[in-house]
Each structure stands twice: as structure tokens, then as C-alpha cells.
Structure 1
């Protein structure tokens, strides 16, 4: 694959920013076709589908942030000269061709492509049919930006294939594929893992937990829970489960206060057996399946727990490995929680909504990885490269 210099890549990104800005009305008009065709039976998916003036501004800003970042390719990781005189240099290098499969969000067509391209990768974009018109016009914008800078369309391509054709492509790709990133629900991820023949980096489900310790600052706790649950219900970093330590002072009154605050925000509350004795009018969960569920809705499960060890075990059993938070004034307790909870991001006295590339200082993100290889958490520009060894000798042979 050709290695493009930084100026060339940045020129393409500047062209793309100009083109999107000039065509924003056309982009919004095409998105409207998708919105009109969408059956609003899934509010979270609908919210992700919307492109308005603010979303277009966000696309432009995402491109600018990546453009302004240092080129991640060709950076020296290590440089060692052995006693033999052999010089071994380890540098960052592009993956090659990345495929991302995603549902709904047209802004992924921007964010995924800008990150892959700046890291000198080609990218194949497989968006959902619900965003067809939005994705097609954004692909045309990318191709115009590439053409303005004398580059082929093959750097950034939207895959115009259906589910069955996608399945066959994963089984028998017609071109080199080096990495696949499925970004969506468990069905999509399972589909890709079943059929893909190359490396798959999982952007897993949310199903995020927050533990209210007996040592929690209650005023801060209410504020954090409301933000984590209601700020953006379609986000994979939204809160799903609240575990309240039954040993907290004024336990029953605090549970009732939390329920009242959430009800005022139109949040549906379901409870376990322990909380049912306090919130008798709430639906009690009937089985374990709900513990694994990512709600993506104004819905929350409140449950009773007895101490930190039980909490750690529950979160590691049921969560998606995405984000988990503890509310406590006890730093030692927080440290144990953060060390032993097996999630990509762990929080002390903060909302899970910060698990985001922009919020964490990474910039635009391809996805939030819940894998442990090769990276965990927001996949930003620096995470879309692999490494390569350059070995320099002078007739060296191994003996």
C-alpha cells in the first residue's frame, strides 16, 4: 500500500471539510429521506440516524480534530543496536484495509473514514440500510475530496451490498482484509465473529453499572446517576444498572428519593427483590436475562447489594465490559473497585458518559473497544496503526 505523506492526507481532510460545509443542506435533505422511511419503533436507533445542522458541524469538527493531530504512521516505538551491531527499529505502520460494519449513525461514515485514512489505511464502510441515502451522499463527498487531491476512490468506499452478500464477503473476501470492526448490538457482533476470516476487534455492548457505596456522597450520587442515565439514552456509555448498598444511612428514604428524581425524568424503573420491598409499585425482574441487557432507553434497573465484593462479582458476571462507576468517599474502596472490575473504563465519582474519544482526549473515535487485544477503550487515531520492525545489518548471519 502506498504511504501518503502527512500534507497529502491533511489536504484531503481540508477538502472534505469544505465540501461537507458547502453541501450541508443536501446532506440533511438526503438524511430526511432515511428518517421518513424509518419506523420509529426504536427511539435510540432513530436518534442515532438524525443528521441536522449540529450533526454536520460535529462532522466537520471531527475531521478538523483528526487533521490537527500528529500523523500516527512511521513513529519510532523503539530503536536498539545490539552488541553484534545489528540495529533494530520498531515503528508504527498502517493495518492495510479496515472494514467497519455499523448500524444507523451516518456520522460514523465520517469519523471512521477520517481516522482510517489519516492512519494511512483503506476503509470499507458497511452501513445499515436505514441510513442508505445519508451514507451515499457522504461517500460522494469523500470521493470528491479524494479526486481533488489526485487520489483513487478505493481509499474510502461504501459497500453497496445486502446482508447475504455481506455474509458471503466475510466468508470469502474478494480483496485483502486486515481488520474488521463491528459497531452495533450483540446480533451484529455475533454475525461478524461467526463469518469473518480475519482479525475482528469488538466494539461491545454497554450494559453499564454504577455502585452506590455506603460511603457515597448522596447529593453527588443523584447528580451522576441522572446524567449517566438521561444525557443520551442511545449512547453505549449510558447507565443501565444501579446497585445500592443496603448499609447506606437512611437507605429506604434514599432509594425513594432516587426513584422520585428518575420518575421526574420519565425513566422507567425496574427492581430486584430487595428494592421491591421499598418500591412496591415497581416491576420486579423475573429472571437473570435482564442483568445482561443493554437498555438503550429511558429505563433503569435498581438493585440492592451488600458490600463491595458482591458488587465486583456481579459486574464482572453481567456487564458488557464497557464502563462501570463507584460513588464513594473512601479512596481505598474506590481503588479496589477500579482494580478488580473488568471493564474498559472504570470511574470514581463520575458519570459513565465520559467513555468517549472526544471526552477522554483521544479525539474522534472509530469505536469503543471492549476487546483486550490490541487495544481497549476508545479507538482513536493512534490506535489504528500496528507496528513493524526494521532490521539493519551488515552481512549479519545468525550462529
Structure 2
């Protein structure tokens, strides 16, 4: 059993990790090139997430430093009560214990997500995809150096080099204690983990995000928000579907302008009327594709989004505050926007300083899961010999 590290030690490890990432920047980028060159798949979003460049290293360093600057999420008092018999009762946050993060492609997860789990007082088990193995092993090596530098056991961060069969066996019957599993990746990975896991799983589900252009929309804002929504096609907060109110003034002109700008960015525009089945509405593209359809009311837009979206993010573009309120209160996604891009559904952008995952489940936390969310709770009761009559 790993005894909870002091907050000073956890912070110092994170700061040393930031220094080591800077020191080994060139080496990490070179190692990552070997992973990128070895990747033979045709998933462009996977390749985009795999690549580590100077900007990615900068983000990793910033995440580690920011985590070190944040308050300790463990031991925060949530509730207190003085029993009539004199007992003092407290409810405080507590670490989960061991968090298993299973992910595809993204070496930055090995820093940011692991860092959040570590700062929250948890032991980390990491299982990255084979496509990013060399990059991940190098980052874990840096974790171990940072831990050793502060006399902490390297057991706090462990990398599991499992193939698919071994991973399935571990999910079904872990060979060590696991308190929480966090899958980070596509729908196939998440389904695989859900099917085989025997302990709680935080579901970081699909995106398939919608923008609804209501009849009182500012069309300039609508175009900016939609284009920004396709600015990173590999992101789970990207926009895949656009619903346009058929009563929007100059709707045809707006659609033509939007389509021209999307095509200029090499984004394929799909028209809903060209598809006989509704399967296309469920699909998360993770590609240079966007589907545009028309709708006749805000109420029907809400119903359509609730039926087809992945429960991640949705946005309404309108000058009508009443319609915006109706939309935001009734659309069942983790994040709802009014006149803003869904690309802000991100722990750093929403003030959390980083994220472990973006949960589309409603338990125990919804949306971006930051440092303060990766805790459970514990009851502390102080007495002087009280017994219950």
C-alpha cells in the first residue's frame, strides 16, 4: 500500500516533471517521430493526437506547473455536524486509491491526465496504445526520475505494456487493486472497457456535437462558431452537425456562404436530405466532414439533439435570450453554449487548469473532470466513547 504523499512532495514531483520535460524536449520529439513514422493506420484523427511537437511539449509543461500551483484536492471539508451526543462529524474529500487510465494515441495524456490523478493522491496505472509506446515509455521514465528525485516510490506511476488480450484479462480480473478506470479514446475503446471492467468506469464518451442556428441568429457569429468547431477535427468537442432554423431570414444566402467557407477549408459538407436513414445523425465524424440540416423550431432542435448527440456539447446561436434559456435548460449535453464555440469544452478553457477526461456520464461528475473532481469522500467521526442506544 502506498501511503498518501504530502502535498509538498506531490507538488515538487510535478515541478520537477516540468523541468525534465523541458530538459528532454528534443529527445521526446525525436522519439515521437519514430512512433509517428511507424503508424500505418489511416485514422487521421488518431495521427493528429499522436504527434508531439514543441507546442505539445509546452502544453505538457504548463499542465504540470499549473497542477503544482493548485490547492490540494484531498482532505477538503465538505460537511460538518455536531451530534447531540457530542461526537464531531466531518465529511472530507479523499483520493480514490489507484486510477487506471487506458488511452489511445495521445502522449500528452501521460503527463496531464496522470498528473491530475497523481496530484489527487492516487497511484497511476497507464495503458497507452501501441502506436504511442516509445513516446509514453520516455514520459514514464521522466515520471520515475521526478519521483526518485523527491524520495517517492516509482510505484506511484506504472506503465502496463499489455496487448489487447492481456488488457482484457486485467480489466476482468485485476492483478492489483484498481479503484477507478478512465478510458480515453474512441467509441470502440470505451465499449471494450465497459464490457470487461469489473470496477467503476468514468465514460469519456463520443462527441457528435451540434450547433443550432435559431431564426434570430447573428449569422456572422454562427459562421465563426461553426468554422471554429471544425478547427480541430480530432477533438471530441468538434462540431459535426448544424441545424438551421428554416425561418432564418436569408437562410439560402447564409447556407451558401457557410458552405463556401467550409469547402475553402477542405471540409466536406453533407446534406441531410441526401441520406435516407438516420444513422448519419448518430455518427461522430472525427474527420473533415460536417452535416447540415434544417429544422422548424427550437423545440424540435432540442428533441433532435437529445436523440442523436453523444451527450457532450451543443450550442445555440440566437439573439433571443428566452430561446437560449429554453435550449440550454432542455438540451441534455454535458456543456451547453449560447453564441459560443463548443471547442471550449475543455478543462483548461473552463477554468479547471486541465482535465483527466470529459465525462458524458452523469455520475459521479459530468463534463470536464479536473483536479477537484477526481476525489471521492470519506466520513471522519471524532468521539469520546459514545455508543448508540
Range into which the TM-score falls when normalised by the shorter chain: over 0.9
2:237 maps to what in 1? 237
Separation in structure 2 between the aligned mates of residue 258 and residue 57 of structure 1, nearest angstrom? 34
Separation in structure 1 between the aligned mates of residue 278 and residue 103 of structure 2, nearest angstrom? 28
1:314 paired to 2:315: no
Cα offsets for 1:333-371 (capped at 9, x unmatched): 000100000000000000000000110010111110111
Separation in structure 2 between the aligned mates of residue 187 and residue 313 of structure 1, nearest angstrom? 26
What pairs with 1:139-154 in structure 2 (closer than 5 Å)?
A: 139-154=140-155
1:246 maps to what in 2? 246
For residue 395 of structure 1, give the secondary structure of its aligned residue in structure 2: coil
For residue 45 of structure 2, give the secondary structure of its aligned residue in structure 1: helix
Separation in structure 1 between the aligned mates of residue 381 and residue 10 of structure 2, nearest angstrom? 28
Separation in structure 1 between the aligned mates of residue 37 and residue 366 of structure 2, nearest angstrom? 37
1:262 maps to what in 2? 262
Q: What displacement does 1:78 show? A: 1.2
Cα offsets for 1:127-151 (capped at 9, x unmatched): 0000011001011010111111111
Separation in structure 2 between the aligned mates of residue 223 and residue 40 of structure 1, nearest angstrom? 32
Cα offsets for 1:154-193 (capped at 9, x unmatched): 1011111101000000011001110001111111111111
1:303 paired to 2:280: no
For residue 191 of structure 1, give the secondary structure of its aligned residue in structure 2: helix
Q: What displacement does 1:210 show? A: 0.6
What 5-or-longer segments of structure 1 have no aligned partner?
274-283
For residue 171 of structure 2, give the secondary structure of its aligned residue in structure 1: helix
Cα offsets for 1:301-325 (capped at 9, x unmatched): 0001010111111111110000000
Separation in structure 2 between the aligned mates of residue 186 and residue 9 of structure 1, nearest angstrom? 33
Separation in structure 2 between the aligned mates of residue 317 and residue 243 of structure 1, nearest angstrom? 14
Separation in structure 1 between the aligned mates of residue 4 and residue 153 of structure 2, nearest angstrom? 13
Cα offsets for 1:96-123 (capped at 9, x unmatched): 0000111001000001111111111001
Separation in structure 2 between the aligned mates of residue 2 and residue 134 of structure 1, nearest angstrom? 29
Separation in structure 1 between the aligned mates of residue 262 and residue 20 of structure 2, nearest angstrom? 43
Q: What displacement does 1:394 show? A: 2.0
1:33 maps to what in 2? 34
1:375 paired to 2:365: yes
Cα offsets for 1:27-78 (capped at 9, x unmatched): 1111011011112511111111111111111110010010000011111111
1:290 maps to what in 2? 280
TM-score between both structures, scaled by the size of structure 2:
0.98
- How many residues get paired? 388
For residue 29 of structure 2, give the secondary structure of its aligned residue in structure 1: helix
Q: Which of these residues, 345, 361, 373, is aligned with residue 335 of structure 2?
A: 345
1:360 maps to what in 2? 350
What pairs with 1:1-399 in structure 2 (closer than 5 Å)?
A: 1-39=2-40, 41-229=42-230, 231-273=231-273, 284-399=274-389
**Cα 1:382–1:22, aligned 2, differ >3 Å: closer, same or farther?**
same
Q: What displacement does 1:84 show? A: 2.3
Deviant stretches of 4+, over 3 Å: none
Q: What displacement does 1:82 show? A: 2.0
Q: What displacement does 1:83 show? A: 2.1
For residue 105 of structure 2, give the secondary structure of its aligned residue in structure 1: coil
TM-score between both structures, scaled by the size of structure 1:
0.96
For residue 4 of structure 2, give the secondary structure of its aligned residue in structure 1: coil
Separation in structure 2 between the aligned mates of residue 251 and residue 4 of structure 1, nearest angstrom? 59
RMSD in angstroms over aligned alpha carbons? Answer: 0.9
Q: What displacement does 1:285 show? A: 2.1
Separation in structure 1 between the aligned mates of residue 278 and residue 183 of structure 2, nearest angstrom? 26
For residue 181 of structure 2, give the secondary structure of its aligned residue in structure 1: strand
